Chain A
Amino acid sequence: RKEVEQDPGPFNVPEGATVAFNCTYSNSASQSFFWYRQDCRKEPKLLMSVYSSGNEDGRFTAQLNRASQYISLLIRDSKLSDSATYLCVVNIPGNQFYFGTGTSLTVIP
């Protein structure tokens, strides 16, 4: 079983829509969780860390469910510029980081 599993999509949504991505992880000892954004042919960039209590940054909300071992990313009021691939990243003990396959989002005018 993969360390991190993520629906690759693609998700095609109209501007202004709300879209949510989920990511499940297999190691219950996982310590840190992140969402990254990767634009085409560029390196991934940190979008936000995911905290146990949930956290929000503008239109983006990240949540962690340790009992069910998943993290989620919610994007409200989608913009054209949100089109990208979103990667979830999980840090397990031993300082190992594992990536999901990425979820492709296209926001349509």
Chain B
Amino acid sequence: GESVGLHLPTLSVQEGDNSIINCAYSNSASDYFIWYKQESGKGPQFIIDIRSNMDKRQGQRVTVLLNKTVKHLSLQIAATQPGDSAVYFCAEFWGNTPLVFGKGTRLSVIA
């Protein structure tokens, strides 16, 4: 079946730089997307979400961009900090089924 995928399994970023984590989705009917952060030994934690009628949404130091033309989702983290080191998952939703999670990208921040 269709599933959420990720371009990069690992990403290393210098502290203070901006991070961009990418996610490809294959279901054009998906209408809701969420980014989660999972720190080591903990459960996933909501970061930001976006609906398909939007192209961009901003939070505190994070921005999610949605490009429906190429079915691409990205999470931008400004001024990356050591506390941002974690695994990041995108998840998509369509119809009346639960969220579908991607495999995740590990972000390592180099001090």
Partners in one complex: no
Binding site for B on A (CB under 8 A): none
Binding site for A on B (CB under 8 A): none
